[in-house]
Structure 1
Amino acid sequence: MMSIGELLRWILSTPVQFINGQQFYTRSYKVLRHGSANMDVLIALGTNAAYFYSFYSVLRAAISHDFKSMDFFETRSMLISFILLGKYWEELAKRKTSEAIAKAYELGTRNSTKIASDGIVTWGQSHVNESTITREARPVAKKKGDAVIGGTSNENGVLHVQATRVGSESALSQIVRLVVSAQVAKAPVQKFADPISKYFVPLVITLSLSTWLTWYMAGKLSWYPKSWIPSSMDSFLFSLEYLLSSYTCKKLY
């Protein structure tokens, strides 16, 4: 009773589960060794539960003449793919930020022979290109008493500038410092979620197993009609589906 489509989904989803998803196993193992748990543990457990549920269903169909399987290979593969895609975008954003920081440092060094530091114009008049700092496309007119930013370019004229902030106090250095700080800092919601996940993950697992056990025992004790069980399932798969549904809902929440 196993179809070609089920066989292909099984073959194609297996590398996604155990090669692409290997990082979730590695991180889960590390946190579990320290007696803790995080969302990587939930992902590893959830995707493996769906994979081996589908594996059991398809394998049983392969050796049966009347059992029709129901698999979730593509759902589990899409979940792993979406999570990895999100992590890829996150790493890409961090890489671009790092490149921007490097360019900012390079900018300050390259333009140091022009406007070397933040300061106040004491004499002269000119136009200054501040696009490297403010992204303003048009040069800004500067005259006596106006502030200038280190790392920007003097377009024309002559300016005498009295330095007010140099080194780590300059606007360019502060921007770089803020970007670095934002890159490594955790978001407030993440700081809130991390300690909760230590208790949330075991709770999800416990409730999901309780859901499965309740439905499994109810089936064995005939507490619900046999007609509730689809033709593509037996009582074990029927109760296991409730475990997966309960687990997935709690994980998404």
Structure 2
Amino acid sequence: MMSIGELLRWILSTPVQFISGQRFYNGSYKVLRHGSANMDVLIALGTNVAYFYSFYSVLRASTSHDFKSMDFFETRSMLISFILLGKYLEELAKRKTSEAIAKAYELGTRNSHVKESMITGEARPVAKKKGDAVIGGTSNENGVLHVQATRARSKSAMSQIVRLMESAQVITLSLSTWLTWYMAGKLSWYPKSWIPSSLDSFELALQFGISIIVIYRQKVVLIKANTFFLLLL
């Protein structure tokens, strides 16, 4: 039951997954090695689930006389391409802002104390002198500080915390969606006619779980693209 189109989609999408998407594997490995997670982990997880499910579906169709496969090769390839385009636009926006930062002159600083309890949990304000790093979002308790922005807002500590929370929420929502639809199928809470003839309740539930990750990531990429074009204006 495997068609030539399915075979070609598998062959053409494999380099996209493992060559063009290599940067997401590298990023995932670095953060997972330190017991953390970021958007690279979410992208690698979502695209790999879609790829290997599609590979399983096509492989099953190649050995069956009545199983009709349903693959996501082209959707997953488009998603990776969309994300890489968003990364490219983001880099262009960073270059534009870094040019403005480069023109800023370096200012001296006077001794002061910064309250960093919202990030570190330390109750006492921390003394700061010239050359010390400060964390965005913390508050200056006394004295005067002249600070220079050295990172884009998306690289700040608070932004990274927010991204980690969003990633955890999306993964939890995706797993919950898959489990809900899977249990609903096992308990016959919806008509069997809802399940396509080429799938079973497990595969149908898996498609819904994958959709959560894909839709969320596309939303993030579109937001970055809109931000870039606003900066250009």
TM-score of the pair, normalised by structure 2: 0.66
TM alignment of 1:35-50, pairs within 5 A: 35-50=35-50
5+ residue gaps in structure 2?
Answer: 107-147, 221-233
User: What do the CA deviations read for 1:141-161 (whole angstroms, capped 9, x no partner)?
Assistant: xxxxxxxxxxxxxxxxxxxxx
Equivalent of 2:103, from 156, 162, 177?
Answer: 177
TM alignment of 1:160-175, pairs within 5 A: none
Residues of 1 paired with 2:19 and 2:64: CA distance? 30
TM alignment of 1:67-146, pairs within 5 A: 67-91=67-91
| Bigger Rg, structure 1 or 2 | 1
Does structure 2 retain, via aligned residues, the 8 Å contact 1:37–1:197? no
Residues of 2 paired with 1:239 and 1:95: CA distance? 43
Residues of 2 paired with 1:67 and 1:7: CA distance? 15
Residue 209 of structure 2 corresponds to which residue in structure 1?
243
Cα distance, 1:238–1:178 mapped onto 2, change above 3 Å: same
Return the letter of the residue paired with 1:47: T
Residues of 2 paired with 1:69 and 1:179: CA distance? 61
TM-superposed deviation, 1:85: 2.5
Residue 116 of structure 1 corresponds to which residue in structure 2?
none
Return the letter of the residue paired with 1:67: F
Residues of 2 paired with 1:84 and 1:179: CA distance? 34
Higher relative contact order (CA 8 A, sep 6+): 2
Equivalent of 1:197, from 149, 157, 163?
Answer: 163
Compare the two structures and name the one with the higher strand fraction: 1
Residue 147 of structure 1 corresponds to which residue in structure 2?
none
Does structure 1 retain, via aligned residues, the 8 Å contact 2:28–2:37? yes
Matched positions, count: 178
5+ residue gaps in structure 1?
Answer: 102-173
- Superposed CA RMSD: 2.9
Residues of 2 paired with 1:185 and 1:225: CA distance? 53
